[in-house]
Amino acid sequence: MTAKLDEIVANFDLLDEWDDRYRYLIELGKGLEPLPEEAHNEANKVRGCASQVWLDMHAEGGPGPRTTLHFRGDSDAHIVRGLVALALAIYSGRPASEILTTDAFAIYEKLGLAAHLTPQRSNGVRAMIERIKADARAAAG
């Protein structure tokens, strides 16, 4: 079961050391719903990530800005899998219009992740969020 965003933020606040925060991020990734093998395909692959990342999207009740988007994701790297879990906590299960106005970077900044991710990982996070927002734009029509 994917953790809720407010729970993730509260847990990050409890962790003072970055090693502990990285371990928590890895634990979040381990908690992701498994992505079926057939979803590990080229269409779901996120371009611009150094690690392999897949995002699978399912729209409910659309098309239009109120269409709810549900995401599942996976990565071949433990920390990146945790970053996928965080992105899903931010965006999955929300209407397309809300996804388009939600600033995930502000959340990453609040958690201190922006300052502690390598430039490569930051670019990967940016690519993942842009992919989610592109899906939301397409669903919103």
Tens place of pLDDT per residue across the chain (141 aa) = 457 999 999 999 999 999 999 999 999 999 998 999 999 999 999 998 788 999 999 999 878 889 999 999 999 999 999 999 999 999 999 999 999 999 999 999 889 888 888 888 889 899 999 999 999 999 998
Among residues 8, 46, 49, 84, the one annotated as catalytic is 49
Residue of 33, 11, 34, 35 whose CA lies nearest to 22: 11
Tell me, what's the pLDDT at 38? Answer: 96
Residue of 88, 78, 62, 80 whose CA lies nearest to 140: 62
Write down the domain spans for the chain.
5-140
The yes-or-no answer on residue 49 being catalytic is: yes
Top-tier CATH class for 5-140: alpha beta
CA 77 to CA 95: how far, in whole Å? 29
- pTM, two decimal places: 0.93
CA 28 to CA 16: how far, in whole Å? 17
